[in-house]
Structure 1
Amino acid sequence: MLATLLAVLTASSLVSAQSAANQAYTPVSGACPSGFEVVRLVGPVGNQTLNQQEVEYISTRKANVLPDAWKTYLANIQATNASLPDYVASILSGESRYPNVGIASSGGGWRATLWGAGILNFLDARNETSAALGTGGILQAAQYLSGLSGGANLVGSFAQANFPTIQTLAFGTNSTDPTSAWGGWLPQINQQDPYTNATQNAEYLQELIDEIRGKYAAGFSVSYNDITARDNGRHFVNGTNAENFFNDTLLHGAGYTWSSVPNVPTFASYSQPFPILIATLLSPNGNFSNIIPNSSDIVPTSNPIMEMNVFEMGSYDPTLAAFTPMKYLGTTNDSVCWTNYDQTAFVVGASGDWNTFYNTSESVLVNSYVYPIVTALNESIPQTDIVLDSSLFPNPFRASIMNGTFIDENETLIMMSDGASDGEAIPIQPLMVKARGLDTIFALDANQDFANAYWSAGGSLVNTQNRINTLFPTAYSMPPIPTNTSEFSAQNLSIRPTFFGCDTSTEAPLIIYIANGGPPRNGEAPLTNQQPSNLTLDQTQAFLDQVYAIAMQGYPTNASEVNDPEWPACLACAVVDRARNATGTERSGLCSSCFERYCWNGTEVALTTTTTTKSGAQSMGRSVMGVVASTLVAAALAYF
């Protein structure tokens, strides 16, 4: 394909027309608003502060929206006639404090996007089946929703598309205004090669490159993620449907910024959970001895985990402990402010920029699908000393502000990679920020934990636990979990819902772990153990249906049963448990028996073999290298 690609580039490079998408994607400069500060310091561990706009959103949502959301959920679970202890109804009706719930949706490509969507559908009050089961309503009552990589595709599109039903999110609407309406994920169109013809795919790639020229002309470096962003805009941002996907006169999501989500009606009415996307800092200054040993991970766990919410970007990790306004990404001082840098598709792409994984050796890179794309970018927009296989942001966290606390404070650019590049594919860390006060976290896991199988086995939670215990024991509180993926597998903790933190300090949240750990118990052929690059609409529906079937299973007392009839009630017990404890009420009745069954008991079994996992606790370390622009890739890889 490369020869075809370069031939197209030669002809196309003579054309410099500014398309509508090009203009809408280009950052815009202007005067900074009065009182503008480029960086907000969050304060020391134990006394960190949240952004005031976030505080206002959560407090107003708690006061005006969550009471009715919890009442709806309570009505749904009561309609099942489950014999729940009285304290469940007392808590959910507001007689004591409400639960504080967050949901984290993992990475794992399209598999993770669909897995997370299927579980959210199981928790959605708008789904009549979920309402009848007694699980619908938790989504509406959640305070936060975080996503990473494939999960960021879900969370990002969900927020900007006005918090639609999952069916609408996946398949779109029948709007009479197809140029601006939500058109669905379009999974039937391959993200790398939307055509079956190589020449047309090369032309499509050149179209994407042409759409980022304005950003480069404005003085900003561009990278692989800018190309990804323009493709993401056609799948995960408003304005594209199957009929107009290849219409190059449309915006295809360009101009839709992440900081404009607060203008979306369901956000403006405080009706959707607060969305957070996660990436990792890809730095030449990191402590590479902190890369997880014997893993395919490429980022040290000591690097800050970067959070991108609709108000700001930064990290609560003590190694950064600072944020910059999302609306003004691209700004590095208080005299000239840039807007329009925070394109939703670009921010979503930063969370899922896993192409750096290919760049661990020259042979791996040259034989990857990334190579012709970065070569095309390098030929079309020549740049010097730029790491192309990363997401690039002008660095606002400079030495004059950070005073030696940030490893990249002397860098002009900060680079980001896939949120799972440090081995943590479930974006649970932002939900454990103590200032947010969450006491219950759903951890939805569709990450690949086995080298030759697309099943999950707790590797991300293991790595998060190790990171917190080793590096940040006072910054975050996490309940105990098994120490390795072999324990998860031996105790079947990833093939059924598992509660972690049932009998530990109440400072740590209770984690409800729902993993893509195995095939459904109903005898269907497994569909969720794949890594699709595209799916037909029928295949997408079948995938979502199977996720829903797995979500309904629970953990039956009788091994011959497919579904646990008490699972919805047990889930309600878990949701209210931290609030129950805060009132001094003893766990009782059905909730006691549920916790005996669903909770990890804190013990580990004797293992005679060790499972080598892809994501997790054991693998061979690989050094990180970056593709440097305007050089021969084979000769000028930049070793960090």
Structure 2
Amino acid sequence: MIFVILLSIFLIGVNFSNGWSPTNSFAPGKVSCPSEKRSFLRSSSYLNTEEMRWVEERNKITNANLKKFLKYSTSLEKAGGNFSVDDFFANYVEGQRAIKIGLAFSGGGYRAMLNGAGQLSAFDNRTTKAFEKGLGGLLESTTYISGLSGGSWLVGTLILNNWTSVEEILLKREYSDIWDLKESILFPEGINIFETIRNHKTVLEEVEDKRDAGYEISITDLWSRALAKDYLGRYEDYGDALTFSDVREFDVFKQQAIPFPIIVAVGRAPGTTIIDVNSTVVEMNPFEIGSWDNAIRSFFDIKYLGTKVSNGVAEDSKKCISGFDNASFLVGTSSSLFNGIVMKLKDMNLGDIPIIGVIEDILDKISEDENDIGVYKPNPFYQNEFGSSSSISNSDTLYLVDGGMDDQNIPLAPLIQQQRDVDLVVAFDNSADTDNNWPDGSSLVHTHQRQFGVQNNSSFPQVPLSPEEFVQQGLNVRPAFFGCDTEEGPLVVYIPNRQLSYASNPSTYKLKYSSKERASMVSNGFDVASRAQHQLDNEWATCLGCAAMRRTELRNSLEQPGVCQQCFERYCWRR
């Protein structure tokens, strides 16, 4: 009861430049329709042209960095034999098919965000000890990065703050307003209840701007703006007008200096409350929103999300909308699992608490049918000719929920599509599958099972048949490689959260972390990704390098170097 009361509180109601949403607020606004683009919709049978060009340029950077990593951070050229990294790249990679790596960060609230931050920092050359004690250089070798729920908070934080490093966020004073979790999102001003109420009334006013502009709002809008204070503190008004399509204009993005970011949510069919493994997975990136799944099978230009369209064509060619792709709203949508808890407030007798009246006022202003999910109205896929779901294409609204609610808590779907040709996916699992908040492989099991369903034709490697089998084989407490011997789809390296230097399994609903707790969580994440800074396996960097090369070897019928064969004996799971 105490937790629910506290959760209700937040529902009350570098100097970055402005000018994102045309209204310079959380509300979308009218813009001119682009003359060169008749339709904002395309089929998912091919990769977006803008993404394709972007990735081609990114490949030049990532493959140069991967070559350095393999030469200087692994024992490939030192373990005997005559393997040459330079020859491997010259003969099979450069000018042919680049090696593409994707990182996927699971959901799990702040636990996932902080553990994920440590795991990512172990791959980041900018981290002080990443070269000697971690896997520095692999982040710089990465093409794609995906996150959902708490993982999207991590990805969103770094992308929207100019690809700031985790180490800078933790150590530099100028970043002290990012991930300041000493006071929870419920009581951002600590015991000063009046300031807390004032802050959350500001959130309500921001969201009301959107409603007053004619758009439906839900608890997700409120959650999104409250959450923004954790990671958009360097922006004026916590980036209330910042859009995800604005990332296109960031120098680090235009120069392909960062991985291509993807946030994942799940679609809920109109008129239902059912979400399962066959629900539609929706991804959002700086160029598009859409799905590879059969239900939608198309993508929409995210910059013009909010424009009323039919089969992708604006109903009024002189009236388009921009600003609906608010960055905090997209990140909040991916983590909307908190909404269901919030909605119970109206049915509870919480006593004579002054702010309850304000909460009820907020809830009364929101549609009863769609108040617990992200409401995307107008529907960008209205009358969509490509998708198989008439319930979606005939609805004027697209409903999206937390990206992990379909039991696929690791955002793998965007990275296993054949159109992207990813060679290696590193899946960081910070889920709370067990009673003690540890992962048990459920996400991999469900993603594997999903490929045989009605939604998608993606290929995913064999994994244990159930979470119970996963745990029985000890795969929930150590890294494992899946798909070691097949060319279909990417090889998946699974890295589950476990306690090495700190008890990194707090509840998903723990919303307050001291500076020491925050640092300890990140440090344990670093240890998990680096195998206790190589103490558990001094060839761990080499083994990940071998995993990155494996698809190229299989495509070209190459024999693995001896050290790679040894790595695969240790880490490959085979039925």
Q: TM-score under structure 2 normalisation?
A: 0.87
Query: 1:172–1:184: 8 Å Cα contact kept in structure 2?
Result: no
* Structure 1 residues 402 and 593, CA gap change in structure 2 (3 angstroms): closer
| Cα shift at 1:549 | 1.9
Q: Which residue of 2 aligns with 1:208?
A: 203
Query: 1:258–1:310: 8 Å Cα contact kept in structure 2?
Result: yes
Q: 1:255 aligns with which of 241, 247, 271?
A: 241
Matched residues in 1 for 2:241 and 2:503: separation? Answer: 39
Tell whether 2:499 aligns with 1:502: no
Query: 2:418–2:489: 8 Å Cα contact kept in structure 1?
Result: no
| Secondary structure of the corresponding residue to residue 145 of structure 2 | strand
Q: TM-score under structure 1 normalisation?
A: 0.79
Code of the aligned partner of 2:553: R
Unaligned runs of 5+ in 2: 14-20
**Mapping 1:211-290, distance limit 5 Å:** 211-237=206-232, 239=234, 250-285=236-271
**Mapping 1:34-49, distance limit 5 Å:** 34-43=35-44, 48-49=45-46
Q: Which residue of 2 aligns with 1:481?
A: 463
Deviation digits for residues 145-194 of structure 1 (CA, Å, limit 9, x no counterpart): 000000000111111111122112x437544xxxxx88422222311222
Q: Which residue of 2 aligns with 1:538?
A: 516
Q: Which residue of 2 aligns with 1:427?
A: 411
* Structure 1 residues 385 and 190, CA gap change in structure 2 (3 angstroms): closer
Matched residues in 1 for 2:526 and 2:11: separation? Answer: 45
Tell whether 2:559 aligns with 1:586: yes
Q: Which residue of 2 aligns with 1:610?
A: none
Q: 1:547 aligns with which of 506, 512, 525?
A: 525
| Cα shift at 1:5 | 12
Q: 2:180 aligns with which of 165, 183, 186?
A: 186
Q: Which residue of 2 aligns with 1:460?
A: 443
Tell whether 2:472 aligns with 1:490: yes
Deviation digits for residues 466-504 of structure 1 (CA, Å, limit 9, x no counterpart): 11123346x10000000111111111112111000112x
Q: What is the aligned-residue RMSD (CA, Å)?
A: 3.4
* Structure 1 residues 543 and 80, CA gap change in structure 2 (3 angstroms): farther
* Structure 1 residues 5 and 527, CA gap change in structure 2 (3 angstroms): closer
- Number of positions where the alignment pairs a residue of Structure 1 with one of Structure 2: 550
Q: Which residue of 2 aligns with 1:469?
A: 452
Q: 2:540 aligns with which of 567, 590, 598?
A: 567
**Mapping 1:127-526, distance limit 5 Å:** 127-133=127-133, 135-168=135-168, 170-171=169-170, 173-175=172-174, 183-194=177-188, 195-237=190-232, 239=234, 250-285=236-271, 299-333=275-309, 334=314, 335=316, 336-358=319-341, 375-379=360-364, 382-384=365-367, 386-394=369-377, 395-399=379-383, 401=385, 405-450=389-434, 452-472=435-455, 475-503=457-485, 505-516=486-497, 518-520=498-500, 524-526=501-503
Query: 1:237–1:252: 8 Å Cα contact kept in structure 2?
Result: yes
| Secondary structure of the corresponding residue to residue 432 of structure 2 | coil
Query: 1:189–1:534: 8 Å Cα contact kept in structure 2?
Result: yes
Deviation digits for residues 554-593 of structure 1 (CA, Å, limit 9, x no counterpart): 799xxxxx52112121121111111122221112311111
Query: 2:270–2:399: 8 Å Cα contact kept in structure 1?
Result: no
Matched residues in 1 for 2:6 and 2:41: separation? Answer: 48
Deviation digits for residues 531-562 of structure 1 (CA, Å, limit 9, x no counterpart): 43121122111111122122222799xxxxx5
Code of the aligned partner of 2:66: W
Q: Which residue of 1 aligns with 2:111?
A: 111
| Cα shift at 1:134 | 6.4
* Structure 1 residues 226 and 587, CA gap change in structure 2 (3 angstroms): same
Matched residues in 1 for 2:10 and 2:343: separation? Answer: 29
Matched residues in 2 for 1:7 and 1:583: separation? Answer: 59
Deviation digits for residues 431-472 of structure 1 (CA, Å, limit 9, x no counterpart): 01110000110010001111x211011011111111112334
* Structure 1 residues 91 and 5, CA gap change in structure 2 (3 angstroms): closer
Code of the aligned partner of 1:251: D
Code of the aligned partner of 1:392: V
* Structure 1 residues 218 and 50, CA gap change in structure 2 (3 angstroms): same
Matched residues in 1 for 2:384 and 2:530: separation? Answer: 53
Matched residues in 1 for 2:10 and 2:433: separation? Answer: 40
* Structure 1 residues 391 and 86, CA gap change in structure 2 (3 angstroms): farther
Code of the aligned partner of 2:307: T
Matched residues in 2 for 1:93 and 1:5: separation? Answer: 53
Matched residues in 1 for 2:356 and 2:560: separation? Answer: 57
Q: Which residue of 1 aligns with 2:33?
A: 32
| Cα shift at 1:364 | 8.0
| Secondary structure of the corresponding residue to residue 590 of structure 1 | helix
| Cα shift at 1:528 | 3.8
Matched residues in 1 for 2:450 and 2:550: separation? Answer: 26
Q: Percent identity?
A: 27
Q: Which residue of 1 aligns with 2:18?
A: none
* Structure 1 residues 91 and 345, CA gap change in structure 2 (3 angstroms): farther
